[in-house]
Amino acid sequence: MDISIILVNYNTKKITADCIKSVIKFTKSVNYETILIDNGSSDGSLRYFNELNYPLKVVKNKYNLGFAKANNQGIKNAQGRYFLLLNSDTELNSNVIGEMVKWMDNHSKVGIASCRLRNADGSEQGTGGYFPTLIRVFSWMTIQDFPLVDKIIKPFHPIHRKYFNLGKDFYNKKRELDWVTGAFFLVRKSVINEIGYFDENYFMYTEEVDLCYRAKQNGWQVFYLPRWDIKHYGGASGKSWSFVVPEYKGIKLFYKKYYPLWQFPIMRIILKIGALGRIILFSILSGKEAAKTYVEAFRVA
């Protein structure tokens, strides 16, 4: 088996079905299996997929176990030389999987890779970045919106700016990054065998940063490959702020694991400064939902 494609479904049966349909339609030149982890869906997902009769290996959970634990379940049930963690709200439009497997076969030092992500309208979507050192977290929380900052301080999250055209330049080039986003996360089985699974203390967000960190510590490269692209609908709405608090919690856990103890309180202060600024800004620009989210982020920082 060349590759095991792992998807996590949680009450998104139609979106997930469209993703699987695109995998079946476009994936060529590789032997693959598709593993679906259902995280305790209550929308009739399991019956729905059974009626569609797609070639799936299904793992059923009673509860929503989170992204890291669910993907670990998929990996443990996988037979491929490569594992592809693919978000259920993505859609393929070419043989990106088959061609990237071939690219990985020709680049033996690359342990993890991802492709370009696009929003539903075809516009650029950020993916990946550099490990969150203090200066990078400070930039992310305070000054990163200013032009040229990303060129001076390697960004934790590179920003794609519609008006300044800086993020577009960043994502147009093949490059080695510290980490790539879990929406399309292609990893060698040998990497997992060497460094272990996702840390299940991360419920959602930052778990891919953690796994990439361990891979790079063991000498593997992580690459972003814009030659191939997929659509990722989740990043297009801009209305859901559910990622903010889990990401704050994830950064804290990452710091506890990998950075000197003296840095942890400084990082927390920086996160609180960033949250406070966003409470004020988003109260004016983005409404109550965003502001309330950052109130909670300030509390957990």
The pLDDT tens digits of the residues spanning 282-291 come to 788 766 778 8
Helix, strand, coil share of the chain (percent; to 5): 45, 20, 35
Q: How far is CA 181 from CA 58, 60, 163, 207, 250, in A?
A: 24, 25, 24, 10, 14
Q: Which CATH number fits domain 1-122+177-235: 3.40.630.30, 3.30.365.10, 3.90.550.10, 3.40.190.10?
A: 3.90.550.10
Span 247-267, pLDDT tens digits: 999 999 999 999 999 999 999
Amino acid found at 49: F
Span 19-57, pLDDT tens digits: 999 999 999 999 999 999 999 999 999 899 989 889 999
Amino acid found at 134: L
Band of the pLDDT at 240, cuts 50, 70, 90?
Answer: low
CB 153 within 8 A of CB 139: yes
Span 108-155, pLDDT tens digits: 999 999 999 998 888 888 889 999 999 999 999 999 888 788 888 999
Strands 184-188 and 90-91: unpaired
- For the chain, which residues make up each domain, given as ranges? 1-122+177-235
Residues 6+ apart with CB under 8 A from 23: 5, 32, 34, 86, 92, 97
Band of the pLDDT at 160, cuts 50, 70, 90?
Answer: low
Residues 6+ apart with CB under 8 A from 128: 114, 158, 177, 178, 179, 180, 181, 222, 224
Higher pLDDT, residue 274 or 126: 274
The model's pTM: 0.93
**C-alpha to C-alpha distance for 294 and 273, rounded to whole angstroms:** 11
The pair of three-digit structure tokens given for residue 47, joined into one six-digit string: 């019956």
pLDDT (average), residues 5-11: 95
**C-alpha to C-alpha distance for 153 and 155, rounded to whole angstroms:** 6
Q: Decide if pLDDT at 162 tops 60.
A: no
**pLDDT > 70 fraction of the chain, expressed in percent and rounded:** 93
**pLDDT > 90 fraction of the chain, expressed in percent and rounded:** 74
The pair of three-digit structure tokens given for residue 28, joined into one six-digit string: 């060529």
- Strand segments (E) across 79-219: 82-86, 90-91, 110-118, 124-125, 175-176, 184-188
CB 156 within 8 A of CB 122: no
Higher pLDDT, residue 122 or 3: 3
